[in-house]
Amino acid sequence: MCPVILPDRAQQLATFFDFNGVLVDDEHLHFSCFNEVLSAYNIEISQRQYDETLLGFDDRGVFDALLPSAERSLREATIASLIRTKAAVYMARAAADLSFFAGAREALAAAAQRGPVVVVSGALRAEIELALSLLDASASVAHIVAAEDVHRCKPDPEGYLLALGWLRATAPEVPRSAVLVIEDSLAGVDAAHAASLGVWAVAHSYPEEQLRAHHPKKIFATLAELVGSLATRSA
Ligand SMILES: [Mg+2]
């Protein structure tokens, strides 16, 4: 096996990947898991409601938006319990049958050839680690910012700012201008802008026209189309 030869550290480019909807084709799985666990509360999410307002939120954000207001401590306990139950349902289904977008492993490998790769996602850490392992791509990812690491989900920039903090501590010679975010959701593109990071979008979850209104630098129809540009990009 050939060793990975990274460019001179001063010329490295960092890539921050969103996960669900960019690499992993599992938004339909999250949608059905949410509805399964919320049925106990007589709540049903429509596909349109999920696509228009909830996609891009982490689990806490989704449950917080949907549960009726209740006494604070009871609400917190309910949300914590729903997150655990949904995680168990998701992990069982994902372990048996998880789909990736074409080019997912190649995109991570191409980005890792240019510098550090960070996954910045609203998914739970165990879900991300399971998927990276199933994709045989764990070695391409230097760091993960998961749902457990942040207090506010996208479009808040907290996750991307945490990834920047890790990058400054690990590779201080890589400037913010050498970081590229890859996103699929409108909330994710907005989060990257709020962190003052350049962002490319893949139109896996939203039509290109809708993404264009949020001003990513580039839009690709599919991840497979984006891979070549990752390998040749400059800061
Ligand atoms: Mg996404």
Instruction: Using the mean position of ligand 1's atoms as its centre, give its distance from the Cα of residue 221 in Å.
Output: 15
Instruction: Using the mean position of ligand 1's atoms as its centre, give its distance from the Cα of residue 234 in Å.
Output: 24
- Integer Cα distance of 137 and 105 in angstroms: 6
pLDDT tens by residue, 33-70:
999 999 999 999 999 999 888 987 889 999 999 998 87
Instruction: Using the mean position of ligand 1's atoms as its centre, give its distance from the Cα of residue 21 in Å.
Output: 4
Percent of the chain with pLDDT over 70: 96
Task: Flag whether pLDDT at 1 surpasses 50.
Answer: no
Instruction: Using the mean position of ligand 1's atoms as its centre, give its distance from the Cα of residue 125 in Å.
Output: 15
Instruction: Using the mean position of ligand 1's atoms as its centre, give its distance from the Cα of residue 24 in Å.
Output: 9
Domain 9-25+100-232 homologous superfamily, CATH: HAD superfamily/HAD-like (3.40.50.1000)
- Integer Cα distance of 5 and 58 in angstroms: 35
Instruction: Using the mean position of ligand 1's atoms as its centre, give its distance from the Cα of residue 139 in Å.
Output: 21
pLDDT of res. 189? 98
DSSP summary character for residue 57:
B
Instruction: Using the mean position of ligand 1's atoms as its centre, give its distance from the Cα of residue 185 in Å.
Output: 5
Compute CA distances 196 → 35, 143, 158, whole Å: 35, 20, 12
- Integer Cα distance of 83 and 121 in angstroms: 15
- Integer Cα distance of 223 and 204 in angstroms: 8
Task: Flag whether pLDDT at 27 surpasses 60.
Answer: yes
pLDDT tens by residue, 62-112:
999 999 887 778 889 999 999 999 999 999 999 998 999 999 999 999 999
Instruction: Using the mean position of ligand 1's atoms as its centre, give its distance from the Cα of residue 3 in Å.
Output: 31
Instruction: Using the mean position of ligand 1's atoms as its centre, give its distance from the Cα of residue 18 in Å.
Output: 6
What are the sequence ranges of the domains in the chain? 9-25+100-232, 27-96
In CATH, the architecture of 27-96 is Orthogonal Bundle (1.10)
- Integer Cα distance of 120 and 158 in angstroms: 10
pLDDT of res. 9? 64
Instruction: Using the mean position of ligand 1's atoms as its centre, give its distance from the Cα of residue 54 in Å.
Output: 11
User: The sheet that has 143-145: what strands, in order across it?
Assistant: 143-145, 117-120, 14-17, 179-183, 198-202, 218-220
Side-chain half-sphere CA neighbours of 70 within 13 A: 13
Instruction: Using the mean position of ligand 1's atoms as its centre, give its distance from the Cα of residue 52 in Å.
Output: 13
pLDDT of res. 4? 54
CA-wise closest residue to 178 among 186, 167, 189: 167
Instruction: Using the mean position of ligand 1's atoms as its centre, give its distance from the Cα of residue 9 in Å.
Output: 29
Instruction: Using the mean position of ligand 1's atoms as its centre, give its distance from the Cα of residue 183 in Å.
Output: 6
pLDDT tens by residue, 180-219:
999 999 999 999 999 999 999 999 999 999 999 999 999 9
Of residues 179 and 75, the one with the higher pLDDT is 179
**Residue 196 falls in which region: left (phi positive, over 0), alpha (psi -120 to 50) or beta:** left
Give the pLDDT mean for 158-166.
Answer: 98
Residue that the structure tokens 């749902």 belong to: 147
- Integer Cα distance of 164 and 170 in angstroms: 10
